[in-house]
Amino acid sequence: MLFLSGGCGVLVILSLSTRTLSRRRRQALVSMEAEAMLLLLADRLAYIYRGDASTTGYYMVRITNFLVFELSLFVIHSFDIYLMDLYSHSEKVKKIPKALVLCEVLFTIGIILVVISQFTGLYYTFDAQNYYQRAAGYAVSYCVPLLIMMLQFIVIVRYRDALDNMVLTPIILFSVIPYLGAILQYFFYGLSIINICMVGMCVALYFFEIINMNNQLQARIEAERASNAKSRFLANISHEIRTPINTIMGMDEMILRENPTGVPKPYFMSVVGYAYDIKAASETLLSLINDILDISKLESGKMNLVKKEYDVTEQIRSLYTMISVRSNQKNLRFDLDIDETIPQKLYGDAGKIKQIMLNLLTNAVKYTEKGGFKLSIKVLGKENGVCRLHFSVKDTGNGIKQEDMNRLFSAFERVDEAKNSGIQGTGLGLAISKQFAELMGGKLWCESEYGQGSTFVLRWNRR
Ligand code: ADP
């Protein structure tokens, strides 16, 4: 028993050093092992001092027996906390099962009853030789922990689908084996079967937890490897596709620049029409390939910032020219509201900032049918040569539902597909923009009212 108790002590230290478990589950495991260790120690001392008629014996048998009863309840209580944590992390269980909360109430009652028993002799008494004797209420001392374990067992069976087998097996064993031990002990008085079962299960639970952690780690390593392979594949393939697209675009440009002299006009016009179609399609394809390349670079952590000084007015002008062509085609108003105190020159990755703004403005055109949109740039403050900038693109478009907000910035996610089915898109633009913003130490978010419009805000600090 002392050997087993020492083993539990070692497990306390090992559990404390575990980093992959949630804080609450680790605490539950640590307390369970510590309580198991003390339980065995108290059980052994109770055995050693029984029949010792000295004053030390008098106190020791009473204290150790009291501890045995209290600690066995504490072990079950820690197991309850462990279960609560398991279910609070499971997506299939919305609320912590009420039965587990009831177990906590029963645990408190059990603790109080042991204290009462200590003074009234409800559960046990001691004879003149300091020998332990079962008393009239002895069965009650069994009922409380057994009731708790039964409730725990019912919860485990009821929510069995919420946990995978590697977790389910040890917790079922935990709620059943000490139960069997308790029944045996009731009939074979003098043996500490229930305590040994409980401690054994605490140890087993720890080992199952370790196996589980190893499996999770292995799965994570494999997922990372697969994701890296995917990113490498995407990066290579998109790079390879870009080259022929550029050739197609170059050749198409040559067709558009052909001299029409001597060519029948209707023939020439239809060739030019086809060439414009090729141009539009290859531009779309190129921007798609660029987005895939960007997202795979971001995912593999290979995206770097290229910082240099750039002209802000020049950048805004170029954005305005590009976007106003499309907003005019859709008869949308495109307003600018630029803070006059914005510095003429800023330092940063101009390409990425332009890409974010271009994406937000393109989306504003794409997802707005009437009304228009506004690009605002404000200086929120200047300190030690660092400028706090606030960019926003506000539109009067479809807006975004509140429930779609958390998917908005995920790669390949398009929202409100029924309404937006006719609009071309890949769901990559916002994911790339958000990650670019974060790479630059900024923040990108969206505020929207469905049916009224959306505002995308980018905030970051620049020299
Ligand atoms: P894409 O536009 O290529 O689909 P994005 O990542 O840029 O991809 O946008 C993701 C989704 O967010 C879009 O599919 C659209 O449903 C929604 N969205 C983006 N901008 C707006 C906007 N200004 N108004 C309404 N919905 C928008």
Question: Ligand 1: which residue has its CA nearest to atom 18?
Answer: 363
95: left (phi over 0), alpha (psi -120 to 50) or beta: beta
Same domain, 153 and 46: yes
* Residue keyed to tokens 């392979």: 229
CA 350 to centroid of ligand 1, rounded, Å: 23
Q: How many folded domains does the chain comprise?
A: 3
Beta pairing partners, 280: none
CA 453 to centroid of ligand 1, rounded, Å: 12
Same domain, 117 and 36: yes
CA distance 376 to 393: 7
Q: Does the CA dihedral 205-76-140-96 come out positive or negative?
A: negative
Q: Give pLDDT, residue 22.
A: 75
Question: Ligand 1: which residue has its CA nearest to atom 8?
Answer: 427
- 382: helix, strand or coil: strand
Q: Give pLDDT, residue 309.
A: 92
Same domain, 291 and 345: no
Same domain, 158 and 277: no
Atom of ligand 1 nearest to the CA of 359: 7
Note whether 275 and 255 are within 8 A (CB).
yes
Same domain, 88 and 153: yes
Q: Does the CA dihedral 113-115-120-126 come out positive or negative?
A: positive
CATH number of the domain enclosing 312? 3.30.565.10
Same domain, 231 and 313: no
CATH number of the domain enclosing 84? 1.20.1070
CA distance 376 to 335: 8
CA 427 to centroid of ligand 1, rounded, Å: 7
Angle at 86 between CA 173 and CA 30, to 5 degrees: 75
- Residue-by-residue DSSP string for 333-354: EEEEEE-TTS-SEEEE-HHHHH
Task: Give how far the C-alpha of residue 140 lies from the chain's centroid of Cα atoms, to the nearest Å.
Answer: 44
Question: Ligand 1: which residue has its CA nearest to atom 7?
Answer: 429
- What lines the ligand 1 site, CB under 6 Å? 359, 363-364, 367, 395, 397-398, 400, 408, 414-416, 420, 425-431, 454
CA distance 295 to 290: 9
Name, in order, each residue with C-beta under 8 angstroms of 399's C-beta and a sequence gap of 6 or more.
448, 449, 450, 451, 452, 453, 454
199 burial type by CB count under 10 A (0-12 exposed, 13-18 middle, 19+ buried): buried
Task: Please give the residue range of the domain that contains residue 332.
Answer: 308-462
Task: Give how far the C-alpha of residue 276 lies from the chain's centroid of Cα atoms, to the nearest Å.
Answer: 47
Which residue, 300, 331, 360, sits at the end of a domain? 300
Question: Ligand 1: which residue has its CA nearest to atom 17?
Answer: 415
Tokens of residue 9, six digits: 């002590």
Note whether 218 and 27 are within 8 A (CB).
no
117 burial type by CB count under 10 A (0-12 exposed, 13-18 middle, 19+ buried): buried
Same domain, 291 and 346: no
Kind of pairing between the strands at 372-383 and 333-338: parallel
Which residue, 193, 223, 253, sits at the end of a domain? 223
Same domain, 70 and 125: yes
Question: Ligand 1: which residue has its CA nearest to atom 13?
Answer: 414
Atom of ligand 1 nearest to the CA of 414: 14
Q: Give pLDDT, residue 339.
A: 92
Same domain, 350 and 433: yes
- 372: helix, strand or coil: strand
Neighbour order of strands in the sheet with 372-383 = 333-338, 372-383, 386-395, 453-462, 443-449
Q: Give pLDDT, residue 191.
A: 56
Atom of ligand 1 nearest to the CA of 399: 25
Tens of pLDDT along the chain (463 residues) come to 666 667 767 777 777 776 667 788 888 888 888 888 888 888 888 888 988 888 899 999 999 999 989 998 998 899 899 899 988 888 788 888 999 999 999 999 999 999 999 889 888 888 888 888 888 888 888 888 889 989 999 999 998 888 877 788 888 888 788 778 777 777 765 556 767 777 777 777 778 878 888 888 899 899 888 888 887 787 788 778 888 999 999 999 999 999 989 889 999 999 999 999 999 999 989 988 888 888 888 887 888 889 999 999 999 999 999 999 999 999 999 999 999 999 889 899 999 999 999 999 999 999 999 999 999 999 998 887 788 999 999 999 989 999 899 899 998 888 888 888 888 888 999 999 999 999 999 999 999 999 999 999 999 887 7
Same domain, 114 and 89: yes
pTM of the model: 0.58
Note whether 462 and 390 are within 8 A (CB).
no
CA 240 to centroid of ligand 1, rounded, Å: 28
Which residue, 160, 189, 223, sits at the end of a domain? 223
Atom of ligand 1 nearest to the CA of 413: 10
Same domain, 65 and 112: yes
Same domain, 117 and 180: yes
C-alpha closest to that of 67 among 53, 50, 46, 51: 46
